[in-house]
Structure 1
Amino acid sequence: MNVESLKVNKQSWDEVAHRFYGRNPLPEYGPLAPREDELNLFGDVTDLKILDIGCGSGHSLQYMSKRNAGELWGIDLSKKQIDAAKLVLDNCNSPVSLFESPMEENPGIPEDYFDSVYSIYALGWTTDLDKTLANVNNYLKKGGMFIFSWEHPLHSRVSNKDDVLAVTKSYHEEGPYNHEAWDHPAIMQQYRISTYMNSLINNGFKIEKMIEDVCLTDEDVHRHANRWYSFEKAKAIPTTIIIKSQKL
Protein backbone atom coordinates (compact mmCIF):
# COMPACT_ATOMS: atom_id res chain seq x y z
CA MET A 1 0.00 0.00 0.00
CA ASN A 2 1.45 3.35 -1.06
CA VAL A 3 0.68 5.74 1.80
CA GLU A 4 1.84 8.84 -0.12
CA SER A 5 -0.42 8.06 -3.10
CA LEU A 6 -3.38 7.54 -0.79
CA LYS A 7 -2.68 10.88 0.89
CA VAL A 8 -2.54 12.69 -2.47
CA ASN A 9 -5.71 11.02 -3.75
CA LYS A 10 -7.66 11.61 -0.54
CA GLN A 11 -6.88 15.33 -0.65
CA SER A 12 -7.79 15.55 -4.34
CA TRP A 13 -11.08 13.72 -3.89
CA ASP A 14 -12.06 15.90 -0.95
CA GLU A 15 -11.48 18.93 -3.19
CA VAL A 16 -13.29 17.69 -6.31
CA ALA A 17 -16.02 15.48 -4.81
CA HIS A 18 -18.74 17.99 -5.70
CA ARG A 19 -17.89 17.63 -9.40
CA PHE A 20 -18.55 13.91 -9.29
CA TYR A 21 -21.75 14.00 -7.25
CA GLY A 22 -24.04 11.38 -8.79
CA ARG A 23 -21.70 10.83 -11.77
CA ASN A 24 -22.27 7.53 -13.60
CA PRO A 25 -23.83 5.55 -10.73
CA LEU A 26 -25.62 2.24 -11.21
CA PRO A 27 -27.47 1.31 -13.36
CA GLU A 28 -24.61 2.91 -15.35
CA TYR A 29 -21.29 1.07 -15.42
CA GLY A 30 -19.36 3.91 -17.03
CA PRO A 31 -19.46 6.44 -19.87
CA LEU A 32 -20.73 5.02 -23.17
CA ALA A 33 -20.93 1.54 -21.61
CA PRO A 34 -23.91 -0.85 -21.40
CA ARG A 35 -26.15 -0.42 -18.37
CA GLU A 36 -27.32 -2.87 -15.74
CA ASP A 37 -30.81 -2.65 -17.29
CA GLU A 38 -29.36 -4.44 -20.34
CA LEU A 39 -26.78 -6.68 -18.67
CA ASN A 40 -28.64 -7.83 -15.55
CA LEU A 41 -25.37 -8.93 -13.91
CA PHE A 42 -26.74 -8.59 -10.38
CA GLY A 43 -30.07 -10.31 -10.91
CA ASP A 44 -32.60 -9.99 -8.06
CA VAL A 45 -30.96 -8.26 -5.07
CA THR A 46 -33.99 -8.40 -2.78
CA ASP A 47 -32.86 -8.80 0.86
CA LEU A 48 -29.19 -9.24 -0.15
CA LYS A 49 -26.29 -7.79 1.81
CA ILE A 50 -24.47 -5.40 -0.55
CA LEU A 51 -21.05 -3.69 -0.28
CA ASP A 52 -19.86 -0.86 -2.55
CA ILE A 53 -16.07 -0.41 -2.87
CA GLY A 54 -15.43 3.27 -3.63
CA CYS A 55 -19.04 4.22 -2.95
CA GLY A 56 -18.58 7.91 -3.77
CA SER A 57 -21.72 9.98 -3.23
CA GLY A 58 -23.81 6.89 -2.53
CA HIS A 59 -26.03 6.98 -5.60
CA SER A 60 -25.23 3.39 -6.62
CA LEU A 61 -26.22 2.22 -3.14
CA GLN A 62 -29.38 4.29 -3.47
CA TYR A 63 -30.11 2.36 -6.67
CA MET A 64 -29.66 -0.90 -4.74
CA SER A 65 -32.01 0.33 -2.04
CA LYS A 66 -34.70 1.04 -4.64
CA ARG A 67 -34.25 -2.58 -5.79
CA ASN A 68 -34.95 -3.74 -2.21
CA ALA A 69 -31.46 -4.78 -1.14
CA GLY A 70 -31.41 -5.96 2.47
CA GLU A 71 -28.32 -4.10 3.78
CA LEU A 72 -26.24 -1.30 2.24
CA TRP A 73 -22.54 -0.98 3.07
CA GLY A 74 -19.99 1.36 1.51
CA ILE A 75 -16.33 2.33 1.80
CA ASP A 76 -14.61 5.38 0.31
CA LEU A 77 -11.30 7.18 0.80
CA SER A 78 -12.85 10.65 0.77
CA LYS A 79 -14.59 12.21 3.78
CA LYS A 80 -16.50 14.55 1.45
CA GLN A 81 -17.82 11.58 -0.51
CA ILE A 82 -18.87 9.74 2.64
CA ASP A 83 -20.61 12.87 3.96
CA ALA A 84 -22.50 13.18 0.66
CA ALA A 85 -23.43 9.48 0.72
CA LYS A 86 -24.85 9.80 4.24
CA LEU A 87 -27.22 12.50 3.00
CA VAL A 88 -28.19 10.62 -0.17
CA LEU A 89 -28.93 7.45 1.80
CA ASP A 90 -30.57 9.12 4.80
CA ASN A 91 -34.10 8.05 3.89
CA CYS A 92 -33.36 4.56 2.56
CA ASN A 93 -35.48 1.70 3.85
CA SER A 94 -32.39 -0.54 4.08
CA PRO A 95 -29.86 -0.30 6.95
CA VAL A 96 -26.77 1.69 5.90
CA SER A 97 -23.15 1.40 7.12
CA LEU A 98 -20.46 3.67 5.62
CA PHE A 99 -16.71 3.75 6.24
CA GLU A 100 -14.16 6.45 5.39
CA SER A 101 -11.14 4.30 4.57
CA PRO A 102 -8.77 3.17 1.80
CA MET A 103 -10.02 0.06 0.02
CA GLU A 104 -6.67 -1.58 0.80
CA GLU A 105 -7.63 -1.69 4.50
CA ASN A 106 -10.54 -3.27 6.37
CA PRO A 107 -11.94 -0.59 8.70
CA GLY A 108 -14.31 -3.02 10.42
CA ILE A 109 -16.31 -4.56 7.60
CA PRO A 110 -17.52 -8.10 8.47
CA GLU A 111 -16.00 -11.07 6.65
CA ASP A 112 -17.81 -14.00 4.99
CA TYR A 113 -20.90 -11.80 5.17
CA PHE A 114 -21.89 -10.26 1.83
CA ASP A 115 -23.91 -11.70 -1.02
CA SER A 116 -22.56 -9.14 -3.46
CA VAL A 117 -19.64 -6.70 -3.57
CA TYR A 118 -19.22 -4.25 -6.44
CA SER A 119 -17.08 -1.30 -7.52
CA ILE A 120 -18.17 1.18 -10.20
CA TYR A 121 -15.23 3.10 -11.73
CA ALA A 122 -13.20 2.98 -8.52
CA LEU A 123 -10.95 -0.09 -8.54
CA GLY A 124 -8.25 1.61 -10.62
CA TRP A 125 -7.57 3.94 -7.68
CA THR A 126 -6.22 1.12 -5.51
CA THR A 127 -2.51 1.26 -4.70
CA ASP A 128 -2.47 -2.51 -4.09
CA LEU A 129 -4.72 -4.52 -6.39
CA ASP A 130 -3.98 -7.91 -4.78
CA LYS A 131 -4.65 -6.61 -1.27
CA THR A 132 -7.90 -4.99 -2.34
CA LEU A 133 -9.11 -8.15 -4.10
CA ALA A 134 -8.09 -10.27 -1.11
CA ASN A 135 -10.22 -7.97 1.08
CA VAL A 136 -13.17 -8.32 -1.30
CA ASN A 137 -12.85 -12.10 -1.24
CA ASN A 138 -12.81 -12.06 2.57
CA TYR A 139 -15.94 -9.90 2.72
CA LEU A 140 -17.95 -12.22 0.48
CA LYS A 141 -19.80 -15.37 1.42
CA LYS A 142 -18.75 -18.46 -0.52
CA GLY A 143 -20.45 -18.23 -3.89
CA GLY A 144 -20.93 -14.47 -3.53
CA MET A 145 -20.30 -12.27 -6.55
CA PHE A 146 -17.93 -9.41 -7.23
CA ILE A 147 -18.68 -7.06 -10.12
CA PHE A 148 -16.51 -4.11 -11.08
CA SER A 149 -16.11 -1.62 -13.90
CA TRP A 150 -13.17 0.61 -14.71
CA GLU A 151 -11.68 2.55 -17.60
CA HIS A 152 -10.60 0.13 -20.31
CA PRO A 153 -6.78 -0.27 -20.18
CA LEU A 154 -6.49 0.62 -23.87
CA HIS A 155 -8.40 3.87 -23.58
CA SER A 156 -5.66 6.00 -22.01
CA ARG A 157 -3.04 4.45 -24.31
CA VAL A 158 -4.67 5.75 -27.49
CA SER A 159 -5.19 9.41 -28.36
CA ASN A 160 -7.74 10.86 -30.72
CA LYS A 161 -6.63 14.08 -32.38
CA ASP A 162 -8.38 15.42 -35.45
CA ASP A 163 -10.11 12.03 -35.78
CA VAL A 164 -6.75 10.26 -36.01
CA LEU A 165 -6.16 7.48 -33.47
CA ALA A 166 -2.58 6.96 -32.33
CA VAL A 167 -0.98 4.74 -29.70
CA THR A 168 0.78 7.15 -27.34
CA LYS A 169 1.93 4.73 -24.64
CA SER A 170 2.64 1.02 -24.45
CA TYR A 171 -0.25 -1.16 -23.37
CA HIS A 172 2.29 -3.39 -21.60
CA GLU A 173 3.45 -0.64 -19.23
CA GLU A 174 1.77 -1.00 -15.84
CA GLY A 175 1.86 0.91 -12.56
CA PRO A 176 0.93 4.35 -11.16
CA TYR A 177 0.33 7.32 -13.44
CA ASN A 178 -1.05 10.85 -13.29
CA HIS A 179 -4.28 10.94 -15.25
CA GLU A 180 -4.13 13.75 -17.83
CA ALA A 181 -7.89 14.36 -17.67
CA TRP A 182 -7.64 15.46 -14.02
CA ASP A 183 -6.75 19.04 -13.11
CA HIS A 184 -5.83 17.96 -9.57
CA PRO A 185 -3.02 15.59 -8.53
CA ALA A 186 -4.47 12.11 -9.04
CA ILE A 187 -2.47 8.90 -8.97
CA MET A 188 -4.27 6.03 -10.66
CA GLN A 189 -3.08 2.56 -11.57
CA GLN A 190 -2.66 1.13 -15.05
CA TYR A 191 -3.10 -2.64 -15.42
CA ARG A 192 -3.55 -4.87 -18.43
CA ILE A 193 -6.77 -6.86 -18.66
CA SER A 194 -4.77 -10.04 -18.03
CA THR A 195 -3.48 -8.56 -14.75
CA TYR A 196 -7.02 -7.94 -13.51
CA MET A 197 -8.10 -11.42 -14.50
CA ASN A 198 -5.06 -13.21 -13.07
CA SER A 199 -5.27 -11.23 -9.83
CA LEU A 200 -8.92 -12.22 -9.48
CA ILE A 201 -8.02 -15.87 -10.06
CA ASN A 202 -5.08 -15.75 -7.65
CA ASN A 203 -7.32 -14.26 -4.95
CA GLY A 204 -9.94 -16.99 -5.10
CA PHE A 205 -12.39 -15.86 -7.77
CA LYS A 206 -13.91 -17.57 -10.78
CA ILE A 207 -14.45 -15.17 -13.69
CA GLU A 208 -17.95 -15.48 -15.09
CA LYS A 209 -18.13 -12.71 -17.65
CA MET A 210 -16.11 -9.85 -19.13
CA ILE A 211 -17.76 -7.06 -21.10
CA GLU A 212 -16.04 -4.38 -23.17
CA ASP A 213 -18.92 -3.32 -25.40
CA VAL A 214 -19.84 0.30 -26.04
CA CYS A 215 -23.29 1.84 -26.21
CA LEU A 216 -23.52 4.63 -28.79
CA THR A 217 -26.76 6.53 -29.27
CA ASP A 218 -27.62 9.64 -31.26
CA GLU A 219 -27.81 11.56 -27.98
CA ASP A 220 -24.25 10.51 -27.11
CA VAL A 221 -22.85 12.12 -30.27
CA HIS A 222 -23.45 15.56 -28.75
CA ARG A 223 -23.20 14.70 -25.05
CA HIS A 224 -19.74 13.16 -25.49
CA ALA A 225 -18.28 15.55 -28.05
CA ASN A 226 -14.73 16.68 -27.22
CA ARG A 227 -14.68 14.82 -23.90
CA TRP A 228 -12.14 12.40 -22.47
CA TYR A 229 -14.63 9.62 -23.23
CA SER A 230 -15.62 10.85 -26.68
CA PHE A 231 -18.16 9.32 -29.05
CA GLU A 232 -15.68 9.25 -31.94
CA LYS A 233 -12.98 7.49 -29.93
CA ALA A 234 -15.47 5.02 -28.45
CA LYS A 235 -16.35 3.84 -31.97
CA ALA A 236 -12.85 2.35 -32.13
CA ILE A 237 -11.67 1.88 -28.51
CA PRO A 238 -13.82 0.67 -25.59
CA THR A 239 -14.22 3.12 -22.74
CA THR A 240 -14.92 0.55 -20.04
CA ILE A 241 -14.28 -3.01 -18.91
CA ILE A 242 -16.87 -4.77 -16.75
CA ILE A 243 -15.97 -8.05 -15.05
CA LYS A 244 -18.28 -10.32 -13.07
CA SER A 245 -16.67 -12.95 -10.84
CA GLN A 246 -17.67 -15.34 -8.08
CA LYS A 247 -15.93 -16.31 -4.83
CA LEU A 248 -14.95 -19.99 -4.94
Structure 2
Amino acid sequence: MDSNSYDQIANEYRDSKKLDFRKYIEEYTLLQLAGDISDMHLLDLACGEGIYTRKLKKQGAATILGVDLSARMIDLAEESEKQEALGCQYLVHDVLQLKPLGEYDIVVGMYLLNYAQSPEELTQFCKVVYDHLKPGGRFIGFNDNPLNESQHYANYKKYGFVKETTEQRKEGDFVKYRLFNLDGTEFSFDNFYFDPQTYADAFTNAGLKGFKWEGPLLHPEQHHPEKFDYWEDFMKHPPLIGFSAVK
Protein backbone atom coordinates (compact mmCIF):
# COMPACT_ATOMS: atom_id res chain seq x y z
CA MET A 1 0.00 0.00 0.00
CA ASP A 2 1.35 3.43 -0.90
CA SER A 3 1.43 6.41 1.44
CA ASN A 4 -1.63 8.06 -0.13
CA SER A 5 -3.75 4.96 0.49
CA TYR A 6 -2.82 4.94 4.16
CA ASP A 7 -3.36 8.67 4.41
CA GLN A 8 -6.97 8.02 3.36
CA ILE A 9 -7.66 5.43 6.07
CA ALA A 10 -5.45 6.84 8.85
CA ASN A 11 -8.32 7.74 11.18
CA GLU A 12 -10.09 4.41 10.68
CA TYR A 13 -6.86 2.50 11.21
CA ARG A 14 -6.21 4.41 14.43
CA ASP A 15 -9.74 3.65 15.64
CA SER A 16 -9.26 -0.07 14.93
CA LYS A 17 -6.83 -0.14 17.86
CA LYS A 18 -9.95 -0.19 20.07
CA LEU A 19 -10.78 -3.73 18.93
CA ASP A 20 -10.23 -6.34 21.63
CA PHE A 21 -7.66 -8.39 19.72
CA ARG A 22 -5.43 -5.34 19.50
CA LYS A 23 -5.18 -5.06 23.27
CA TYR A 24 -5.44 -8.63 24.49
CA ILE A 25 -3.29 -10.29 21.82
CA GLU A 26 -1.38 -7.81 19.66
CA GLU A 27 -0.30 -5.40 22.40
CA TYR A 28 0.22 -8.12 25.00
CA THR A 29 2.43 -10.16 22.65
CA LEU A 30 4.54 -7.11 21.77
CA LEU A 31 5.11 -6.10 25.38
CA GLN A 32 6.02 -9.66 26.35
CA LEU A 33 8.55 -9.83 23.52
CA ALA A 34 9.99 -6.44 24.48
CA GLY A 35 10.47 -7.35 28.14
CA ASP A 36 12.34 -4.87 30.32
CA ILE A 37 13.33 -2.00 28.03
CA SER A 38 14.39 0.45 30.74
CA ASP A 39 16.90 2.97 29.40
CA MET A 40 17.03 1.31 25.97
CA HIS A 41 16.96 3.04 22.59
CA LEU A 42 14.21 1.82 20.23
CA LEU A 43 13.30 2.28 16.59
CA ASP A 44 9.66 1.64 15.66
CA LEU A 45 9.31 0.95 11.92
CA ALA A 46 5.86 1.21 10.29
CA CYS A 47 4.76 2.95 13.49
CA GLY A 48 1.44 4.17 12.07
CA GLU A 49 -0.23 6.68 14.37
CA GLY A 50 2.29 5.85 17.10
CA ILE A 51 0.18 3.86 19.55
CA TYR A 52 2.94 1.34 20.26
CA THR A 53 5.66 3.96 20.02
CA ARG A 54 3.97 5.66 22.94
CA LYS A 55 3.27 2.48 24.89
CA LEU A 56 6.91 1.42 24.60
CA LYS A 57 8.08 4.84 25.75
CA LYS A 58 5.82 4.47 28.79
CA GLN A 59 7.45 1.09 29.46
CA GLY A 60 10.72 2.87 30.12
CA ALA A 61 12.52 3.28 26.79
CA ALA A 62 15.12 6.04 26.99
CA THR A 63 14.40 7.15 23.42
CA ILE A 64 12.15 5.95 20.64
CA LEU A 65 11.82 7.03 17.03
CA GLY A 66 8.76 6.07 14.98
CA VAL A 67 9.03 5.88 11.20
CA ASP A 68 6.12 5.55 8.78
CA LEU A 69 5.48 6.06 5.07
CA SER A 70 2.18 7.88 5.66
CA ALA A 71 2.42 11.58 6.43
CA ARG A 72 -1.12 11.53 7.81
CA MET A 73 -0.26 8.72 10.21
CA ILE A 74 2.71 10.71 11.48
CA ASP A 75 0.49 13.78 11.83
CA LEU A 76 -1.77 11.75 14.14
CA ALA A 77 1.26 10.53 16.10
CA GLU A 78 2.55 14.06 16.55
CA GLU A 79 -0.91 15.26 17.60
CA SER A 80 -0.86 12.63 20.38
CA GLU A 81 2.60 13.77 21.41
CA LYS A 82 1.37 17.35 21.69
CA GLN A 83 -1.55 16.22 23.85
CA GLU A 84 0.69 14.17 26.13
CA ALA A 85 4.40 14.86 25.74
CA LEU A 86 6.39 11.67 26.26
CA GLY A 87 9.49 12.47 24.22
CA CYS A 88 8.61 10.28 21.23
CA GLN A 89 10.06 11.39 17.90
CA TYR A 90 8.68 10.65 14.45
CA LEU A 91 9.87 10.61 10.85
CA VAL A 92 8.00 10.26 7.54
CA HIS A 93 10.03 7.88 5.39
CA ASP A 94 9.83 4.76 3.24
CA VAL A 95 11.46 2.05 5.35
CA LEU A 96 12.74 0.29 2.23
CA GLN A 97 14.81 3.41 1.45
CA LEU A 98 15.83 4.22 5.03
CA LYS A 99 19.54 4.97 5.46
CA PRO A 100 21.13 4.17 8.84
CA LEU A 101 20.04 6.63 11.52
CA GLY A 102 22.10 5.08 14.31
CA GLU A 103 22.26 1.81 16.25
CA TYR A 104 19.38 0.75 18.47
CA ASP A 105 18.88 -1.83 21.19
CA ILE A 106 15.56 -2.94 19.70
CA VAL A 107 13.90 -2.44 16.34
CA VAL A 108 10.14 -2.96 16.34
CA GLY A 109 8.20 -3.98 13.23
CA MET A 110 4.47 -4.12 13.87
CA TYR A 111 3.04 -5.21 10.50
CA LEU A 112 6.12 -4.07 8.60
CA LEU A 113 7.27 -7.23 6.85
CA ASN A 114 3.88 -8.23 5.45
CA TYR A 115 3.98 -5.22 3.12
CA ALA A 116 6.89 -6.68 1.15
CA GLN A 117 5.70 -7.50 -2.36
CA SER A 118 8.66 -9.72 -3.31
CA PRO A 119 11.29 -11.84 -1.55
CA GLU A 120 13.79 -9.12 -2.43
CA GLU A 121 11.72 -6.47 -0.61
CA LEU A 122 11.33 -8.79 2.35
CA THR A 123 15.10 -9.19 2.53
CA GLN A 124 15.56 -5.43 2.15
CA PHE A 125 13.28 -4.77 5.12
CA CYS A 126 15.41 -7.16 7.16
CA LYS A 127 18.64 -5.53 5.96
CA VAL A 128 17.37 -2.10 7.02
CA VAL A 129 16.62 -3.57 10.45
CA TYR A 130 20.07 -5.17 10.62
CA ASP A 131 21.75 -1.85 9.78
CA HIS A 132 19.93 -0.16 12.67
CA LEU A 133 20.68 -2.70 15.39
CA LYS A 134 23.55 -2.76 17.83
CA PRO A 135 25.45 -6.07 17.97
CA GLY A 136 23.20 -8.34 20.02
CA GLY A 137 20.23 -6.03 19.43
CA ARG A 138 16.79 -7.52 18.90
CA PHE A 139 14.18 -7.30 16.17
CA ILE A 140 10.63 -7.96 17.41
CA GLY A 141 7.21 -7.43 15.95
CA PHE A 142 3.85 -8.73 14.77
CA ASN A 143 2.84 -9.94 11.34
CA ASP A 144 0.27 -11.56 9.13
CA ASN A 145 0.68 -15.24 9.94
CA PRO A 146 1.94 -17.15 6.87
CA LEU A 147 1.16 -20.38 8.76
CA ASN A 148 -2.55 -19.43 8.78
CA GLU A 149 -4.27 -21.63 6.20
CA SER A 150 -6.55 -19.68 3.88
CA GLN A 151 -9.63 -21.82 4.59
CA HIS A 152 -9.77 -20.12 7.99
CA TYR A 153 -9.61 -16.55 6.62
CA ALA A 154 -13.34 -15.88 6.92
CA ASN A 155 -13.61 -17.05 10.53
CA TYR A 156 -12.44 -13.93 12.38
CA LYS A 157 -15.42 -11.60 11.89
CA LYS A 158 -16.31 -11.65 15.60
CA TYR A 159 -12.87 -10.19 16.34
CA GLY A 160 -13.44 -7.28 13.98
CA PHE A 161 -11.85 -8.43 10.72
CA VAL A 162 -11.73 -11.05 8.00
CA LYS A 163 -8.98 -12.01 5.57
CA GLU A 164 -9.30 -12.68 1.84
CA THR A 165 -6.89 -14.00 -0.77
CA THR A 166 -6.79 -15.74 -4.13
CA GLU A 167 -8.42 -19.15 -4.62
CA GLN A 168 -5.03 -20.85 -4.85
CA ARG A 169 -2.88 -18.70 -2.55
CA LYS A 170 0.74 -18.60 -3.67
CA GLU A 171 3.89 -16.58 -3.07
CA GLY A 172 3.34 -12.86 -3.56
CA ASP A 173 -0.46 -13.02 -3.60
CA PHE A 174 -2.43 -10.37 -1.75
CA VAL A 175 -3.94 -10.98 1.66
CA LYS A 176 -6.71 -8.43 2.05
CA TYR A 177 -7.74 -7.41 5.55
CA ARG A 178 -11.26 -6.04 5.97
CA LEU A 179 -11.69 -4.40 9.36
CA PHE A 180 -14.95 -3.55 11.08
CA ASN A 181 -14.62 -0.83 13.70
CA LEU A 182 -16.78 -0.47 16.79
CA ASP A 183 -18.42 2.66 15.37
CA GLY A 184 -19.61 0.77 12.28
CA THR A 185 -16.97 2.04 9.86
CA GLU A 186 -15.22 -0.46 7.59
CA PHE A 187 -11.94 -0.26 5.71
CA SER A 188 -9.46 -2.56 4.03
CA PHE A 189 -5.82 -2.86 3.04
CA ASP A 190 -3.60 -5.48 1.43
CA ASN A 191 -0.73 -7.49 2.85
CA PHE A 192 1.21 -10.03 0.79
CA TYR A 193 1.75 -13.72 1.38
CA PHE A 194 5.11 -15.45 1.47
CA ASP A 195 5.95 -18.94 2.62
CA PRO A 196 7.42 -19.25 6.14
CA GLN A 197 10.68 -20.46 4.59
CA THR A 198 10.85 -17.28 2.48
CA TYR A 199 10.68 -15.29 5.73
CA ALA A 200 13.42 -17.43 7.29
CA ASP A 201 15.62 -16.98 4.23
CA ALA A 202 15.14 -13.19 4.29
CA PHE A 203 16.27 -12.98 7.91
CA THR A 204 19.29 -15.19 7.23
CA ASN A 205 20.28 -13.32 4.07
CA ALA A 206 20.14 -10.03 5.98
CA GLY A 207 22.44 -11.38 8.71
CA LEU A 208 19.81 -11.68 11.44
CA LYS A 209 20.05 -14.74 13.66
CA GLY A 210 17.68 -16.87 15.73
CA PHE A 211 14.56 -15.92 13.78
CA LYS A 212 11.44 -17.56 15.15
CA TRP A 213 7.70 -17.08 15.19
CA GLU A 214 6.37 -16.08 18.61
CA GLY A 215 2.91 -16.67 20.04
CA PRO A 216 0.52 -15.08 19.54
CA LEU A 217 0.03 -14.64 23.26
CA LEU A 218 -3.29 -14.02 24.97
CA HIS A 219 -3.48 -11.71 27.97
CA PRO A 220 -3.81 -13.79 31.19
CA GLU A 221 -7.07 -12.15 32.22
CA GLN A 222 -8.67 -13.63 29.10
CA HIS A 223 -7.83 -17.22 30.11
CA HIS A 224 -10.95 -17.62 32.24
CA PRO A 225 -13.02 -20.39 30.56
CA GLU A 226 -15.93 -18.10 29.75
CA LYS A 227 -13.62 -15.59 28.06
CA PHE A 228 -11.29 -18.12 26.46
CA ASP A 229 -14.19 -19.67 24.53
CA TYR A 230 -14.46 -16.37 22.66
CA TRP A 231 -10.79 -16.51 21.66
CA GLU A 232 -10.74 -20.19 20.63
CA ASP A 233 -10.92 -19.60 16.86
CA PHE A 234 -8.19 -16.97 17.03
CA MET A 235 -5.81 -19.02 19.16
CA LYS A 236 -6.44 -22.36 17.42
CA HIS A 237 -5.78 -20.92 13.96
CA PRO A 238 -3.90 -17.66 14.59
CA PRO A 239 -4.38 -15.14 11.77
CA LEU A 240 -1.56 -13.01 13.20
CA ILE A 241 1.71 -13.90 14.88
CA GLY A 242 4.72 -12.38 16.62
CA PHE A 243 8.37 -12.89 15.74
CA SER A 244 11.85 -12.23 17.06
CA ALA A 245 15.47 -12.30 15.90
CA VAL A 246 18.85 -10.90 16.95
CA LYS A 247 21.84 -9.28 15.26
| TM-score above 0.5 | yes
State the shift of 1:79 in Å: 1.0
Contact 1:30/1:120, CA 8 A, preserved across alignment: no
**SS in structure 2 at match of 1:143:** strand
CA positional deviation for 1:93: 3.7
Task: Tell me how far apart the structure 1 counterparts of residues 235 and 33 of structure 2 sit (CA, whole Å).
Answer: 24
Q: What RMSD in Å do the two structures reach over aligned CA positions?
A: 3.2
1:101 matched residue in structure 2: 93
| Correspondence for 1:193 | 196
Q: Residues 1-248 of structure 1: matches in 2 within 5 Å?
A: 6=1, 9-21=2-14, 23-24=16-17, 32=25, 35-36=28-29, 40-90=32-82, 91-94=84-87, 96-106=88-98, 109-111=100-102, 113-127=103-117, 128-155=121-148, 157-159=150-152, 169-170=167-168, 173-177=170-174, 179=176, 181=178, 186-207=189-210, 209-213=212-216, 215=218, 218-219=226-227, 231=231, 233-247=233-247
Distance 2:73 2:228 in 1: 27
Asked if the contact 1:33/1:239 (under 8 Å) is kept, the reply is no
* Contact 1:55–1:75 under 8 Å retained in 2: yes
Secondary structure of the equivalent of 1:137?
helix
Change beyond 3 A, Cα 1:52–1:156:
farther
The alignment partner of 2:9 has SS state of helix
Question: For 2:178, what is the secondary structure of its paired residue?
Answer: coil
Judging by fraction of residues, say which structure has more helix: 2
* Alignment correspondent of 1:228: none
Distance across 2 between alignment mates of 1:160 and 1:83: 32
Q: TM-score normalized by structure 1?
A: 0.75
Distance 2:188 2:86 in 1: 37
| C-alpha deviation, 1:155, in angstroms | 3.3
**Contact 1:21–1:57 (Cα < 8 Å) also in 2:** yes
C-alpha deviation, 1:72, in angstroms: 1.2
TM-fit CA distance, 1:176: 4.2
Q: Contact between 2:41 and 2:63, CA under 8 Å: does it hold in 1? A: yes
**Matched position secondary structure for 1:194:** helix
Structure 1 portions without partners, runs of 5+: 1-5, 223-230
Letter in 1 for 2:112: A
SS of match in other structure, 2:4: helix
**1:53-107 Cα shifts (integer Å, max 9, x gaps):** 110111101111111211111111111100011122234343x33121222111x
CA contact (8 A) 2:43 2:107 kept: yes
Checking the alignment, whether the CA contact within 8 Å between 1:159 and 1:168 is kept in structure 2 is no
Mapped contact 2:48–2:68 kept (Cα < 8 A) = yes
8 A Cα contact 1:12 1:184, kept in partner: no
Task: Give me the whole-angstrom Cα distance separating, in 2, the residues matched to 1:92 and 1:21.
Answer: 19
Secondary structure (helix, strand or coil) at the match of 2:202 reads helix
Q: Which amino acid aligns with 1:175?
A: G
Aligned match of 1:225:
none
Cα distance in structure 1, aligned partners of 2:111 and 2:23: 7
Structure 2, unpaired ranges of 5+ = 157-164, 180-185
Aligned length in residues? 222
